[in-house]
A and B are shown apart, each in its own frame.
Chain A
Amino acid sequence: VTYEEDMAAALSGFVVEARELLQEMETSLLQMECDDDPELVAALFRAAHTIKGSSGLFGLDHVVQFTHTVESALEQLRSGSIAVTPELVGALLPCRDHIAAMVDAVADGVVTATDATVATGGKLLERLAPLLAGAEPTCPDPAAGPAQTRSEELDADGGTRPLHLSVRFGPDCLRSGMDPLAFIRYLSTLGTIPALLTLDGALPEATQLDPEICYLGFQLVLITASPMDSVVGVFDFVREESDIRVLEAPDVAGFAELVRSYETDSGRVASFLIEHGAIDASTLAAALTDGGAVGEASPAGDPEHGPGAAVEHAPEPEAGSSATGPPSPQPALAAVPAQPRRPPSVQADGRAAEVHARESSESRSIRVEAPRLDRLIDVVGELVIAGAAVGLRANQAGNDALLEAISDVMRLVEEVRDSALQLRMVPIGTTFSRFQRVVRDVSAELGKDISLSVTGGETEVDKALVERIGDPLMHLVRNSMDHGIESAEVRLERGKPARGSLRLNAFHDSGSIVIEVQDDGGGISRDRVLAKAIERGLVDPGASLTDGEIYNLIFEPGFSTAETVSNLSGRGVGMDVVKRNVTTLRGTIDVESRPGLGSTVRIRLPLTLAIIDGFLVGVGGSAFVIPLDRVVECVALPQLSHARDCMDLRGEVLPFLRLRSVFSIPGDRPRRENVVVVDYAGVKTGLVVDTLMGEFQTVIKPLGQLFEHVQGIGGATILGDGEVALIIDVPVLVRHHADRQAGHDGSAGFAPGFPAAAMARVASAPGAELVAADPE
């Protein structure tokens, strides 16, 4: 692996991480408006901060610079010097977007600022500036020099001030690719480093030296406007193994503890601190001899204390090395307070603990490249098929012991399959949370006040589905906001709260995931939809349709886009596209509406695209798989039903389809036929088949391009004996059959149907001959 490849890999890791953090920022920003949880601001700050830190490591100076300013604003927010206002959130969101854009550019290989990014960034910051408290420290003041190191000159409004850093990395840091010098180089971008002391006291004799172990430590003065936290945060990556202390005068106890913590260099450190105004010699000497009794820290700095004057007061290396006083009072900001002496590897302050907690939660999840997972699922799928083949052989051989062994194996295979599929499952909440932003932006655009509530975000669904359902959902959400929810005046007139509400909900329902987009708007006007559909030739004027059927007409292609009644967002994409997307995912969509109260669009999707539990049936020489979650029951076909297309199922009329006719399978009907009762959209339909062959787990193989337009077939699978079985797409099959029915008798079929025109489309669709066989 070359260095360049290493870098490219690291950079792509950065991009992935940054995008996640940006998502987090967005979520926090949006939540902040209605929730004053300080943790949100803290999370926001941390996210910005980490992005800045890792950008710095990759030398992405433009990202660092911009993010730094944003971070300073967030710091004001966190410290409470400014409050959360819609204006502030409104200014910060585009800043986040700008960072996202820069990160995207980095992903595309643009690692420096372009004129456009600089200009955009400048504008955004201009907009942000008036919302901040006092003089905003947009960048470290380069004029700040050593002369300013005394705390008396500290500008209380957040100007530059000297911080004293003690940086001791763990012995293994070099081996793990962390170069302390790189960190110091990075620190120098946060401000100026007027003084730095390289501590080589721990460096062994040359012959004993293992150059791969880090022996050096650094004591330095950093003059910066950056908040303490961001300075501390530079070391987030190495905190565990290192002893990093960031101190600010007058932290007498902290400085004393720092000096004490050195074995070999304490004298040099002490004189360095004194020389650079961190503490005066007598105070330090007192603190060191006094152990824990330094609580009443005098303001550091007798200003008259000349540099170097106190070197003789510097303690001996051993001084106080065994002293372990009670924890001393710390200034609130000192994020890495000194602790009773402990090995450098232990850092036990609140922030470190928190970082640690975060890291350990990260280590509970592993990032895996999607193709690897796909490969695993693929192989597991093949394993299921191969297992079925072995089972078949064993069955034929009639070897009971073998059969028993195989059933054990198959049980395990199923478990492996389930766990493998589980790996692909992600909560849908991450997709939902994107919509907070969408709703916010679109409501501002439309001048409506709309709130979004999300429920069922923990519902898990196949990642491939989650990715592909985003666009249809986006369309539905925009649509509901645009056309579903009325303007505030209308709402008040109708006695509804002025603030519209939109709800995204998800839940599992018998092998499917159901996603609902619900609004409390005006609902869909039944009559106008019907009128429009008749005008467009989608329905016969005389047709009698149920309300549900009428509402669902809005998903028909050709039902137009702009300036229609209803619910179309007028963006040039109709609801039919939404429906097509959902159907491609083997899902269904329908809409429910109550006039004046709002409407609900319900998307029902399979949990996974890769494997289904099926029910294997035979017709003539062909085998078909019916998704098991559609199967209600199986009954024998009554002899009397041969001439008809419906039968009596315990007093109900059960319409049925003969697969033999539907798929034009040659051969005569056997004497006994069976009916598999399937359920689609709450309506039962029978599928007449020759033989029932039982449950069958199956890996869905997509049909080749040639067959992709075939209606009623969702895919294919390979049986244990090597034969191909077609997987029946129940919704499509039933619906198209219903269309045909409707076409015959001019009335709605037994399932939601769309007569004449819809049927004509079916007949003209490529491959339609497969389903066009007359069932009569």
Chain B
Amino acid sequence: MSPATAAADEAGVSVAVADELTIRTATEQKAGLLAALDSTTRLRLDLSGVAELDTAGLQVLLALVAEARSSGKAVELADPTPAVTEVIALAQLGEILAIRACDAEAVTDPTGKEGPG
């Protein structure tokens, strides 16, 4: 069972993260997401299938975003479930893990991945 399904489009790669992002799946998810990031310069994560997010999953997201930033790529988070928004709010990581409010279309504005510094 693949935790993430990727779909390429003209604006980059869109990956739907299926399943939870937790300690149980994090290692697998990390591999999948890194591979997806490798294949594109603009990775869009569809989080609508993430029913649960814990610290392990959060670390994967942070590492992915950091990796993207260091290699000049972009990661975009979209369609979060309430579980995801709750964790991001709790950890006050809204700036680093910015969620794109509007959906789908590729956007050029990179603020979504820029941390405060």
Contact = CB atoms under 8 A, between A and B. Distances in A.
A101 to B, nearest CB: 32
Contacts of B7: none
Given A211-B56, A211-B57, A203 B66 contact: yes
Nearest to A176: B23
Given A211-B30, A212-B26, A205 B55 contact: no
B1 interface: no
Given A215-B59, A216-B59, A207 B34 contact: yes
A45 interface: no
Nearest to B87: A181
B92 interface: yes
B80 to A, nearest CB: 15
Nearest to A183: B55
Contact of A181 (B26, B55, B60): B55
A198 B92 contact: yes
Contacts of A635: none
B12 to A, nearest CB: 18
A200 interface: yes
Candidate in B27, B56, B66 with the most chain A CB atoms within 10 angstroms? B56
A211 B23 contact: yes
B107 interface: no
A197 B96 CA distance: 12
Interface string A172-191: 00110001111011001000
Interface size class of B (residues with CB under 8 A): 20 to 34
Contacts of A212: 23, 26-27, 56
A196 interface: yes
Contact of A184 (B27, B60, B90): B90
Interface string B20-32: 0001001101100
A273 to B, nearest CB: 15
Contacts of A174: 23, 54-56
Contact of B58 (A197, A210, A216): A216
B77 to A, nearest CB: 16
B91 A198 contact: yes
A209 B59 contact: yes
A218 interface: yes
B24 to A, nearest CB: 10
Contacts of A416: none
Contact of A198 (B34, B60, B63, B93): B93
Contact of B91 (A175, A181, A211, A214): A181
A195 interface: yes
A216 B55 contact: yes
A214 B23 CA distance: 10
A640 interface: no
Contacts of A116: none
B90 A211 contact: no
A200 B90 CA distance: 15
Given A211-B27, A211-B60, A212-B26, A196 B67 contact: no
Interface of B: 23, 26-27, 29-30, 34, 54-60, 62-64, 66-67, 70, 87, 90-93
Q: Which 3 A-B pairs have the closest CB atoms?
A: A211-B26, A206-B67, A206-B63
28 contacts: A174-B23, A174-B54, A174-B55, A175-B23, A179-B55, A180-B55, A181-B55, A181-B90, A181-B91, A185-B90, A188-B90, A195-B92, A196-B91, A196-B92, A198-B93, A203-B62, A205-B70, A206-B30, A206-B67, A210-B27, A211-B29, A211-B63, A212-B56, A214-B56, A216-B55, A216-B58, A216-B59, A216-B62
Interface of A: 174-175, 179-182, 184-185, 188, 195-198, 200, 203-207, 209-212, 214-216, 218
Given A174-B55, A181-B54, A181-B55, 7 more contacts: A179-B23, A205-B66, A211-B30, A211-B60, A212-B26, A214-B56, A215-B59
